[in-house]
Structure formats: C-alpha cells, structure tokens
C-alpha cells in the first residue's frame, strides 16, 4: 500500500478575517466569574473546534474520517481528541494516530518529542511538513479528510491548495467578524484555487440561556444569513458559544461531547458521497 490518500473527499476549514491574534498571545474566549460571562479576550474564531467537530459528526454517521492538522506553529487537534504521539513510521509511511472513536489524526504534535516545544521553523520548512502530512501519511481508506488551517493567508494555505486535491472549503466565521469581508475573500481565494466553497459555519453564534433556553445574541445581530444569500452559499450551521463545549474539548473529550451542532453540516458533506 502506498502512503498518501487513496479515495475520499478533502475539506479545508478556513477563516480569512483580520481579527485573530497571533499565537501565544491569546486570552480565553470567555471567563466565567461573578459577573457572568466576559468576552473581553479573544482567541481564534473556532476553526479547530469546527474541524474537529465536523470529523466527530461524520464519524458518528459511520464514515471513515481523518483530520490533518495543517497548523504547524499552533497545533490544537491532538489536544481536542486527547491523543498523543509518537506517530509511528513504517516502511510505507507514517501511520496517523487514531482517536478513541477511530478518527485518524496527523499533527506536528504527534511527531515532536516535546509537545510543548514551540515550532520556530521557517516558512518553507513548515510548508514541507504540511506536504509530508499529505504525501507520506498512510491515510488509507478515509472517506472524508478535514484539514485544519492555521489563521491567515500565509504559506500553508497556499501549500494546502497546491498540494492537496481539496474538494471543498468550509468557512468559519463569528458574529464579531465582518462576515461579508471574510466570505468575499474566501470566494476570491476559492475562484483562484478552483475549489468550491461548501458553506459557512457561524461559530459563537449565540449563547443558550441556562434558565429559559432562549438564544441570546451576545455579539449582536448576525449577518451570516444575508451574506450567505448574497454569495449563494449555504449557512451550514450556527454553533453556540458553550463553556461546556470548551471544557470537554480542553479535556480532550470532544468525541463524547453530546452536542450535535454540526449534524446538518455533516449531512451536507455526506451528500457528496452519494
């Protein structure tokens, strides 16, 4: 068996906004305290949570799923699944590490001896690692591979689109972002790369009131529906900001999280196989 990817579909999960802070200068998205939830700090928009949860949702539907963590300088996929390296190399290539439910994962964190060690490689080396994750990892018969992209539009997204046969792009946004601008950029990129956009996932869309179940739009009104209409793109899901979700993910237990926020999005992806 040759390494690499034999069959199946590949999706890149992207965010093309400007508001993300660089790595290692992040604050938690919310802090619970006496005053309730405080949104002062801001981390990523939730690409990794979306990539991981898409994989979980597809796996729950019985598909064979993989996640390629293309974020070399800020890998977060292994932590969400609670998996550790080292990934084992064989004559045929590198075996991905399998999660509790059998999701195949490759990430720089699974290859480095010290998971905490910062990766300070230069752009071309980083791009090389992403290429290897595609060409030298034994993905075998994965039906759907989700690629968790780093923030921004640097070398890595370019490498991903030039090296991997990406079948679709999933855009992640949040109500705090200028979603029109993000989607506009993504549409341009998609046209350039000749890759279709599958749709938009709005993360941190609302908070569910623990007392009455009401959806509270903590970030103000969402513009994702109008933006979707404008660009003829489906809104695949609206994920709430849920401290429990963050807690489970933080503990490496995203697979046992009960929420099914991306079930509909997973159905949209699954349709491609039929």
Ligand X SMILES: Nc1ncnc2c1ncn2[C@@H]1O[C@H](COP(=O)(O)OP(=O)(O)OP(=O)(O)O)[C@@H](O)[C@H]1O
- Chain contacts with Zn ion (rule: CB under 5 A): 209, 211-212, 214
Could you check whether the bond before residue 86 is cis, i.e. omega within 30 degrees of 0? yes
Q: Yes or no: say if 225 and 235 are a contact pair by the CB < 8 Å rule.
A: yes
Strand positions, DSSP E, the chain: 4-5, 9-14, 31-33, 36-38, 65-69, 97-98, 104-106, 138-140, 144-148, 168-173, 197-202, 207-208, 215-216, 235-238
For ligand X, which residue has the nearest CB? 44
Name the residue nearer to Mg ion (CB basis): 112 or 272.
112
Distance CA 201, CA 211 (A): 26
The rounded distance, in Å, linking the Cα atoms of 63 and 190 is 26
Which lies closer to ligand X via its Cβ, residue 45 or residue 58?
45
**CB of residue 37 vs Zn ion: minimum separation in angstroms?**
13
Q: What does 207 bind: Zn ion, Mg ion, ligand X, none (CB cut-off 5 to 8 Å by kind)?
A: none
Residue (88 or 209) nearer to Zn ion, CB:
209
Q: Provide the Cα torsion 6, 52, 19, 110; round to 10°.
A: -70
Q: Are 217 and 206 in contact (CB under 8 A)?
A: yes
Among 9, 12, 47, 127, binds Mg ion (CB under 5 A): 47
Q: Which is nearer to ligand X, 138 or 166 (CB)?
A: 166
- Residue 239's binding partner out of Mg ion, Zn ion, ligand X, none, with CB under 5 to 8 Å set by partner kind: ligand X
Decide which of Zn ion, Mg ion, ligand X, none touches 241; Cβ closer than 5 to 8 Å per partner kind.
Answer: ligand X
Of 74-82, 97-105, 113-121, 182-190, which segment contacts Mg ion by CB under 5 A? Answer: 74-82
Q: How far is CA 183 from CA 66, 85, 173, 271, in A?
A: 25, 36, 9, 23
Binding mask 2-41 for Mg ion (x = CB under 5 A): ----------------------------------------
Q: Which residues contact 149 (CB under 8 A, 6 or more apart)?
A: 12, 13, 14, 15, 47, 70, 71, 156, 157, 160
Q: How far is the CB of 252 from ligand X (least distance, A)?
A: 12
Judged by beta carbon, residue 70 or residue 233, the one nearer ligand X is 70
Residue 209 contact partner, candidates ligand X, Zn ion, Mg ion, none, CB within 5 to 8 A by sort of partner? Zn ion
Q: Does 48 bind Mg ion (CB under 5 A)?
A: yes
Q: Which is nearer to Mg ion, 48 or 203 (CB)?
A: 48
Angle at 93 between CA 90 and CA 96, to 5 degrees: 90
Residues that bind ligand X (CB under 6 A): 15, 20, 29, 43-49, 71, 74, 76, 151, 203-204, 239, 241-242, 245-246, 249
DSSP symbol at 251: T
Comparing CB distances to ligand X, the nearer of 105 and 204 is: 204
Tell me if 127 sits within 8 A of 156, measured CB to CB: yes
Binding residues (CB under 5 A) for Mg ion: these are 47-48, 76
């Amino acid at each position: 068996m040759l390494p690499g990817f034999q069959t199946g579909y590949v999706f890149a999960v992207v965010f093309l906004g400007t508001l993300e802070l660089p790595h290692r200068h992040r604050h938690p998205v919310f802090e619970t305290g006496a005053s309730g939830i405080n949104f002062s700090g801001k981390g990523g928009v939730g690409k990794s949570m979306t990539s991981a949860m898409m994989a979980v949702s597809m796996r729950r539907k019985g598909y064979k799923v993989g996640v390629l963590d293309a974020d070399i300088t800020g890998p977060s996929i292994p932590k969400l699944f609670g998996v550790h390296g080292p990934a084992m190399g064989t004559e045929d290539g590198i075996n991905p590490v399998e999660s509790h439910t059998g999701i195949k994962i490759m990430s720089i964190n699974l290859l480095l001896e010290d998971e905490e060690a910062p990766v300070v490689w230069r752009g071309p080396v980083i791009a090389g690692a992403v290429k290897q994750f595609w060409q030298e990892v034994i993905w075998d018969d994965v039906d759907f591979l989700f690629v968790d992209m780093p923030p921004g539009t640097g070398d890595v997204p370019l490498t991903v689109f030039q090296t991997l046969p990406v079948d679709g792009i999933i855009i992640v946004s949040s109500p705090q972002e200028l979603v029109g601008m993000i989607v506009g950029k993504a549409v341009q990129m998609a046209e350039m790369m000749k890759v279709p956009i599958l749709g938009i996932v709005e993360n941190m869309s609302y908070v569910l009131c623990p007392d009455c179940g009401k959806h509270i739009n903590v970030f103000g009104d969402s513009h994702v529906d109008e933006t979707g209409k404008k660009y003829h793109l489906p809104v695949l899901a609206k994920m709430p900001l849920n401290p429990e979700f963050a807690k489970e993910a933080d503990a490496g237990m995203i697979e046992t999280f009960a929420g099914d926020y991306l079930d509909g999005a997973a159905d949209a992806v699954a349709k491609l196989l039929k």
